[in-house]
Amino acid sequence: MSDVKTVFGALDNYQKGGVEVIDDDPRNYVFSNVFEVAARSKPYERVAVGKNFEYVIEAVRAEGTSPWYACAHDEFALVMDGRVEVRLLKPETPAVVADKAGAVALGAPPVGRKMGRVVAGRGHMTLLPKGSAYQFHADRASVVTIQTIQGEVTIERWADICQTG
C-alpha cells in the first residue's frame, strides 16, 4: 500500500499559498483561491477568478439548485469539491442569440427536450454543450469552476478576492 498523499483542496479545508514579493506588486499576479472565493460567495454567484481578454474562469459555490442557464458556445464545468448534478436540456427554440458571449440566466425553465444529466464528483469535468440549457444541483455546498467567456452573469470583484499586499 502506497503511503503517498495527494493534497486536494476543499471548501472547508484548503491551505492558501501567496505571492512573496522581491521587487514587484502582488496585484500583478491576480492571486486568489477558488475555495476561499466559493466560501465567501452566495450560491451560484459566478465569480471570475481568471480573466484573459474575453475569456474567464468562474468559481461557483454550488449549493441547492441553480437557475437555468443557456450559452451559445461550449463551456466546461470542473468540480473541485463535493458532488454536483448537471441537468441538460435542448431548448425548442434557441435560448440565446448565436453570437452572445458568456452564459445567460434564464428567467424560467426552458421548454425543450431533456438531453440527460451528469453527476460529477471532485475532479470530474462536464461539457456544457453550446446551444443547450443547463442547471446545477448540489445537496451540500460544493465548488465548481467554469471555463467560459465573460458574460452578463460573470461577477468581477478582484480587489475583494486577490492578494493586494
Partner 1 sequence: MATPVVEASEPDNYYGYRRFRKGKFEFQRDEYFVHIRWPKGTHTMAADVFLRALQRDIAWNFFYGTVNFDGVFGTLNHYGTVDIFAGRFNDAYRKAGRDYNETYASDELMATFKAMLDDWTNRGYDPFAAPEETKHPYGRKDGENRRAIERLRVTAKRMVGLPGDTPLRSDAGGYPVNRHFADVPQDRPEIHAEPGFENEVSAFNLFAYLSRSDVTWNPSVCSVVKDSLYCPTSEEFILPVEHGNDRVEWFMQLSDEIIWEIKHKETGAPRARVICRAGDICAMPADIRHQGFSPKRSMLLVWENNSNAIPALIQSGKAPVVPVVF
Of the candidates 105, 106, 127, 141, which one interacts with partner 1 according to CB under 8 A? Answer: 127
Give the sign of the dihedral formed by CA 98, CA 104, CA 106, CA 109: positive
Of the candidates 132, 135, 142, 154, which one interacts with partner 1 according to CB under 8 A? Answer: 132
Report whether 47 contacts 160 (CB < 8 A).
no
| CA contacts within 13 A on the Cβ side of 109 | 11
Of the candidates 106, 117, 137, 141, which one interacts with partner 1 according to CB under 8 A? Answer: 117
Q: Can you give the C-alpha Rg of the chain in angstroms? A: 17
* CB nearer to partner 1: pick between 63 and 72: 72
Q: Is 99 in the site for partner 1 (CB under 8 A)?
A: no
Q: How far, in whole angstroms, is CA 1 from its chain's centroid?
A: 35
Report whether 69 contacts 135 (CB < 8 A).
yes
Binding residues for partner 1 restricted to 146-165, rule: CB under 8 A? 147-149, 156, 158-159, 162
Q: Would you mind telling me the total number of residues written for the chain in this entry?
A: 165
Grid cell locating 74:
461550449
The stretch near partner 1 (CB under 8 A) out of 60-68, 91-99, 103-111, 113-121 is 113-121
Grid cell locating 87:
441537468
Report whether 90 contacts 131 (CB < 8 A).
yes
Which string of x and - marks every residue 17-56 that binds partner 1 (by CB under 8 A)?
xxxxxxxx-xxxxxxxxxxx------------xxxxx-x-
Q: How far is the CB of 108 from partner 1 (least distance, A)?
A: 21
Q: How far is the CB of 75 from partner 1 (least distance, A)?
A: 6
Phi, psi of 34 (to 5 degrees): -65, -30
Q: How far is the CB of 156 from partner 1 (least distance, A)?
A: 8
Which residues contribute to the site for partner 1 (CB under 8 A)? 2, 4-9, 14-24, 26-36, 49-53, 55, 57, 73-76, 78, 80, 86, 88, 90, 113-127, 129, 132, 145, 147-149, 156, 158-159, 162
